[in-house]
Amino acid sequence: MQKKLRKKISFLDFVLFSTGITAITFSVILFFYSLTFLIRNINLILKTPAEPTDIIHFNLESAKKLFPSG
């Protein structure tokens, strides 16, 4: 039993183990990044829009200068 515990780890086992740990770490980082991205976009959607103004202003003097009649 003790011989089995002290067995030397082969290079292939080390590469597979490190690749798995790296993939899991990368997945966790992407997961948290996607959550923050979604939270930011949901906050942008849920913000109340600015109050629209119902008053429309026309500058008739400038319009007469731009489009003279005749």
What gap in Å lies between CA 44 and CA 14, rounded to an integer?
A: 45
Tokens 């290079």: give the residue.
11
Residue 5 clears pLDDT 70, i.e. is over it: no
pLDDT of residue 23: 98
For the chain, the residue count is: 70
Average pLDDT over residues 14-27: 96
Render pLDDT for 26-67 as a digit per residue (tens, 0 to 9).
999 999 999 988 888 887 777 777 777 677 777 888 888 888
Tokens, residue 16:
């597979």
pLDDT of residue 22: 98
What gap in Å lies between CA 32 and CA 38, rounded to an integer?
A: 10
What gap in Å lies between CA 25 and CA 58, rounded to an integer?
A: 60
